[in-house]
Structure 1
């Protein structure tokens, strides 16, 4: 992201714990009007969502956008599948990447850039339990080193 006009609306913090992130891509979303208003209020959840490629198009499933309070008959299903906007060559690249064993498409965050709702999509590989333990051990060791250096600095 190069622009300063970016407001992060939702993040998938669980993704970096559950997956190895290989590559990311910025994609657009096909949304209804009341969904955009709800996203601007921050009423979106991407924790349990995932993306798939169907018939040369990319769709996201499980992304929950709460219905807009002031919307009436124009509100839509909060967890409906939504189309993602990509160029054909980007879709082909994603398709070839996820054909490899263990790779999937995981949304990392939703943000508003220059008035448009964007999604950061990652090509990721699932972690095993021992990988997660290694990450936790590394974080713990780093925390201890920082704590020790701060204590030394204070003396």
Structure 2
């Protein structure tokens, strides 16, 4: 019985994960957090996965003119990485609640999945980057709810 439950949970998790498209996109924006150098902050990697179409991926910092864009060409259904350890000073955000020019833009010619990963021996972190689809859904929901609130507030005034 326990084995059946294990197999059911594995099958369920595999079939439900397929329907999520929030992490598949052609454009990602990310502000790398400042990681404590005392516990380790390198190596830092950007990991990519392609799907049914090949992709040419460009990593840039539009607000930083000194940053040289990185390019990676990938075939279908493959994975690859870019090591950003040598660029850690340029990509890490210097402080919280401050505007900086360290935002990373990842653009691709095909649908990809992107992950920012800190893989230090004593400090491992992984950030799964989200594409634009969740933001479109959130802005649509906010607009709809605002419209409802707006109608409820203005209706008595207009009558």
Q: TM class, shorter-chain normalised? A: under 0.3
Structure number with higher strand proportion: 1
